[in-house]
Structure 1
């Protein structure tokens, strides 16, 4: 809601309170003021000028040479490029030395050889948004009314010497979607009274019932419908002050009749609609649900197909408006309109919300109906609009109001004790202070033995229970004045769960290792949804996707990380290392809700280490990314539970891919992208991994136990075993560890050889074995005995032979 500071002064005395101070006090009382905008945006030196003469520029077809009286003696010559400038107009003139928004300073200049002493301004050049400028002035200068005084401050006449407060309203404060509602709020904050606008209507001696009748068939949707006839109106521009207030509130002016309905919407929060009476096509108004398949053309010239979920205003046979949302083109007020039927109604929120949703037509009017208006103001707003049309459109108000009214006002009363207020707020507020606050809010109440019985005004639909009254007392007493108290209860300090702590460890480790965290979409397309998935599952498609590229829930994090790597590479970021912790979505059938499982994935491409000064550069390879995972598993205490097995997976390189097993169960994979996939993503050699993080972090591991550094020397024996080329080195290593018993403390592979010196189909794997006993020094005989057991075991299991 945009609130003009100067306009607000008409309802509440703001003496001694600046716009910024008022914004601060409103915010502290519970409604956030998001900004305070100065409308002139720093402009100055702009006056009203009278175009005395206008001639064609001798050297330019699209320029005019104007002689303009700016109220300073002799007229000055100004060159103007506006197509609508003409003799006799009153226009905004930025004199030499003036400043326009954006700190644009006006200087004396020559344009195509002719001197120009100032600038004739459009509204856009004075800082008004183009979408708010009246259509007739959208491509040219603004023309002031003929009675505008020459030399007067143009910014003041346009009400640009004003400030606008933007209120960020929560859904419960629909009462502040009007100037009067904001006035009640401000008056309560400042402890001042509210001056309501005069709405006296001078009626003629005719009877409105001779002109039109009203019948409401859908009474649940429309409990109150009222209307007035204003005849002999003259369509033209609305007063300049009204146009300025509409533009300040974000509404474009149209003509006096339409502008008055919009003005009342802002003033009272009551949406109105003006019909051209002569174009209605009948003398009756019938409000009903639309028929399924019924059509109408709305004011935006769009043909709408209606359903029986929509409420329409009809002339008895065909719709003339989509109730509370938009009028029909067949009854629009036009330049030749003579008689106007003004509609003021109370439509219930659900019926309007449904129409807005179905037709995508949210407007200032529908917003207020959706959040709920005050039915008590419906006829007040109607009278005020009729009075304004009589004054500013030269109309004649026909006597009486035509209405259909089944609305039954429900008085809301809330009873609360002073003790209850103080108990909740932790205060010692007196009953006099509470009474003062309720009086400022203009809530009727009685007090008996410190018990308040409050009658809630209909404008405050958000007040219904004790806690609502407590909130009102708290915010007007001042949140800053509430004492800070600790809760009286047994409290357990918050902490991370074991799972959360481990996940945080994982993040820190990966970032320390040089990977950057990425957060990608949970939605992808059908082709990428199942790529790299650890588990087979049915794709889950959205019922109403944003686009086909975001139509299916992902089953792997890797595809989007590859997109991120590709995006970076396309922007000359060659070295990319990313990880993501996020959810994938798995289900067995479309009828089941998906299971959400947490995954950890990473992608690395380019150089792993670059030190240009020392000439060092190490490219990412399989063992770099596997080494990072090894470090992660060691951090989590899982190094003895993890196993890598060579495997083949779709989309990954057939010879450089391994599955990761945790206690024999597959929990992930690591490997190089298949060259075809790399090409599809426009990447160079790229490595990826993905882990079922929830499975990894939920594993119970033994606590770390520390042992003393051995005091006795160890003995190292190296062996080179010749085995079949297909033999997996890890399997051989397991056999060595099993056969080595307690004396064998460490086994490491340090060489693999294939070549001419070995028989075809054979390879040599070299192991370094370290033996020691923490309690004594081992003898050669003891180590030899165990070492021979190791050699015998690998000979029997793998047919291995020692390489000479």
Structure 2
């Protein structure tokens, strides 16, 4: 909603507050002011000029030489506008004037003729082209004949104004009008609201003698008022009316249409004017559309109508889509002399559905679908009739043609002051609450701390006790609500242990050089089980937006691969991404899936790329495994985690490791299968997915620090010959379990599979460190344990010491 501060002052005293201060007060009361615009703030040097003489330029067919009276002198100005003519009052930018964008007007010579200034169009002085009347879109703007040469154009055109842009929430439909905003400002500033004048002289002929009204769809149209106005003269609106419409973001058309738009912006009640003669039948029938009917609306579009859509007809054919847009067959035009002025209450649901069906939203439909004030329907008709009589010289027939079955009673809300204070956590006195309701112009009574409020029909958002609480709180001042801390044994706040660990996971992966991604939770049925740690029942959406987003995902990797492919296709060859989010596992006993948090990693391209040192390293399996191992160390799980060779669809059969936590599978690390890489246009790519929930909830022993050992350790290196299918992890597990308390560490440092090995065999070398925290070990103790380890390796893995 765009609000002219000059226009607003006609309805409420703003106490000469600056636009910035007024905007701050409105925002603090609950309606946010999104912007403040001072019209023509970057323009200067514009005055009214009168074209005294105009002739063709002798050296240019499209130029005219004009002699322009600017008050204290007559300037020669060369103008290229096609509509410039002698006798016009025009906008003149004199030498030294500044136009939008910092353009400075100077004396110039055009095809040998001097030009002392510029005759301007509205667009050239900063008015948005979509707000300029169609008559002046391709030329200069002609000012009213009573404009005085030399006068300031800003004052003549009302450009000395400031516009507030209100960001209204759907419940505040009352503020979609100047009068509604005036009520709001009046409550804030404790000022009365002034209604516009509505007195005019009626004809002796009655409207009912000229027009017949019949409403068939009474539920959708419980109130319809029509006024008949004769002898109107269609012309341009006065400059003040055009300026106010443009300030409100509405393009001027002609005086009759402009009045209906003006009253819409002033009172919030949509109106429509029909050409009486084009109706042909002297009848208005409001009904639902018939099957197969259509209408050409004012935007020249042919729109098929459905049987649930409300239309205004002449008894034969539709002449308007009720509450949305009029028809071209009854449009007011230059030859119109008699009009039918419509003011009605259309059911919000009916207008909303029709507007949606036609994908057509208008200023009228946006107000009807939120609910207009039923007590302003007649008021708006009378206000528009007065303005048309004044501006277009119309003769208003006496009375109105009315169908009325609308309940216009006010909603009653009863609430106690103690209830309000308890919910707000405040201590507002009953008298203060009553004063606030008076400022809001809510009729009410106060008895024994019980407020009985009759909410005015303009405020259709006031329905329940909480609505009254909100009104009192916002006018009293949200910033007046006391700041208090909760009372209890301990103050709430902080992260839970689970949240702390989850944040640690994200920080660690970011520190490892990866970027966090956020992908859709919805996927396709083809991808839902791909790369999933656990395949479960699929959870389908009842109304999916597309086949690609029709089910809830069970793996994070599939979408991360799509992100990697998207980046690589745009020359970002090295990609390292992670995501922590939920997967959704369906079950047979409930329609609701189980939501489980996972973490996934995708990496492709270079992991190290130091161009200056000439050092490069491609991502490989061990880079990803190292990241996962580091994460386990961060979470204190390294002693519980093991890695086993595995296979999964879509992953490389020889480079896939299953991650186990205390013998429970919690994830995998793998290279992507070459076929999958090819389908996604990726080079060598590595992925990992872990059940984050199981990792973070796993009970970890409290970390205990020990002093650095005072006694020396003893290291033994062994090279074991084993079958090709025996993994290093299996051997390391045997060594760890057998070594007991004396074995402090063990790690692989060599793998040999050369031609000196027997076919089907390989050599794995381990380094074992023995030690004791309280004394120095003897060789006999180490040999005894070491021999036991070797025997166990031979027994469980058929491992032989390499000769």
1:92-127 deviation per Cα after TM superposition (whole angstroms, max 9, x unaligned):
221111111222222223345543322222222222
For 1:83 and 1:494, how far apart are their aligned partners in 2? 71
- Seen in structure 2, the aligned counterparts of structure 1 residues 593 and 140 have a Cα distance that, compared at 3 Å, is farther
Asked if 1:89 corresponds to 2:88, the answer is yes
Q: CA deviation at 1:197?
A: 0.6
Q: How does 1:375-390 map to 2 (within 5 A)?
A: 375-390=374-389
Cα distance in 1, alignment partners of residues 112 and 554 from structure 2: 71
CA distance in 2, matches of 1:486, 1:731: 57
Q: Report if the CA contact (8 A) 1:261-1:274 is conserved.
A: yes
Secondary structure class of the residue paired with 1:75: strand
Q: Measure the CA separation in 1 of the matches of 2:583 and 2:283.
A: 59
Contact 1:224 1:347 in 2 (8 A): yes
Q: Which residue of 2 aligns with 1:77?
A: 77
Query: In structure 2, what is the equivalent of residue 352 of structure 1?
Result: 351
CA contact (8 A) 1:714 1:772 kept: yes
Comparing 606-615 with 373-382, greater Cα deviation is found at 606-615
Match of residue 457 from structure 2: 458
Query: What is the alpha-carbon distance in structure 2 between the residues aligned to residue 260 and residue 278 of structure 1?
Result: 20
Structure 1 residue 801: Cα displacement: 2.4
| Pair 1:409-2:411 in alignment | no
- Secondary structure (helix, strand or coil) at the match of 2:398 reads coil
**What is the match of residue 690 of structure 1?**
689
Contact 1:212–1:285 at 8 Å: present in 2 too? Answer: yes
Distance 1:698-1:62 versus aligned 2 partners, 3 A rule: farther
Identify the residue that residue 754 of structure 1 maps to in structure 2.
753
**Displacement after TM superposition at 1:768 (Å):** 1.1
Q: Which runs of 5+ in 2 are unaligned?
A: none
Moved more, 695-704 or 17-26: 695-704
Q: 3-state SS of the aligned residue for 1:278?
A: helix
Please give the per-residue CA displacement for 1:264-303, whole angstroms capped at 9, x wherever unaligned. Answer: 1110110111122222242332223334554333323333
Alignment of 1:280-679 (within 5 A): 280-291=279-290, 294-416=293-415, 429=428, 432-448=431-447, 451-486=450-485, 492-523=491-522, 531-536=530-535, 553-569=552-568, 573-587=572-586, 592=591, 594-612=593-611, 614-679=613-678
Deviations 1:415-445 (A, max 9, x none): 4555555555565655554444333322333
**Contact kept in structure 2, 1:99 and 1:105, CA below 8 Å:** yes
Structure 1 residues 139 and 543 mapped into 2: Cα distance closer, same or farther (>3 Å)?
Answer: farther
In the alignment of these two chains, the number of paired residues is 803
Q: Does the CA-based 8 Å contact 2:587-2:594 persist in structure 1?
A: no
Secondary structure of the residue aligned to 2:20 is helix
Cα separation, 1, equivalents of 2:127 and 2:241 = 15
Give the Å deviation of 1:402: 0.6
| Distance in structure 2 (CA, Å) of the matches to 1:534 and 1:137 | 68
Offset of residue 149 of structure 1: 2.5
Alpha-carbon distance in 1 for matches of 2:507, 2:574: 20
Instruction: Please report how far the alpha carbon of residue 206 of structure 1 lies from its aligned counterpart in structure 2 after TM superposition.
Output: 1.3
Cα shift at 1:628? 0.7
Q: Could you tell me whether the CA contact under 8 Å between 2:76 and 2:114 is conserved in 1? A: no
Contact 1:4 1:165 in 2 (8 A): yes
Task: Give the match's secondary structure for 2:169.
Answer: coil
Counterpart of 1:800 in structure 2 is 799
Shift of 1:764: 1.0
Aligned counterpart, 1:31 = 31
Residues 41, 102 of structure 1: 8 Å contact kept? no
Q: Distance in 1 between matches of 2:731 and 2:597?
A: 34
Q: Return the alpha-carbon distance in structure 2 between the equivalents of residues 694 and 314 of structure 1.
A: 64
Which segment drifts farther, 22-31 or 779-788? 779-788
CA distance in 1, matches of 2:573, 2:152: 60
Cα 1:597–1:19 change in 2 (3 A) is: same
Tell me which residue corresponds to 1:115.
114
1:703-722 alignment, distance < 5 Å: 703-722=702-721
Distance 1:451 1:341 in 2: 48
- TM normalised by structure 1 equals 0.92
Kept in 1, the 8 Å contact 2:413–2:454? The answer is yes
Shift of residue 10, structure 1, vs aligned partner: 1.0
Q: TM-score, normalised by structure 2?
A: 0.92
Alpha-carbon distance in 1 for matches of 2:616, 2:325: 67
Range with greater deviation from structure 2 (776-785 or 540-549):
540-549
Equivalent-residue separation in structure 2 for 1:689 and 1:65 (angstroms): 78
Residues 176-204 of structure 1: CA deviation (Å, up to 9, x unaligned) = 11111111121222222222111123221
- Which residue of the partner structure matches residue 8 of structure 1? 8
| Partner Cα distance (1:64, 1:584) in 2 | 73
Per mean C-alpha deviation after superposition, the further-off stretch among 579-588 and 325-334 is: 579-588
Once residues 353 and 195 of structure 2 are traced to their aligned partners in structure 1, the CA distance between those partners, rounded to angstroms, is: 34
In structure 2, what is the equivalent of residue 196 of structure 1? 195
Distance apart, 1:513 and its partner CA: 1.8
Residues 679 and 120 of structure 1: is their aligned pair in 2 closer, same or farther, counting only changes over 3 Å?
farther
Q: Which runs of 5+ in 1 are unaligned?
A: none
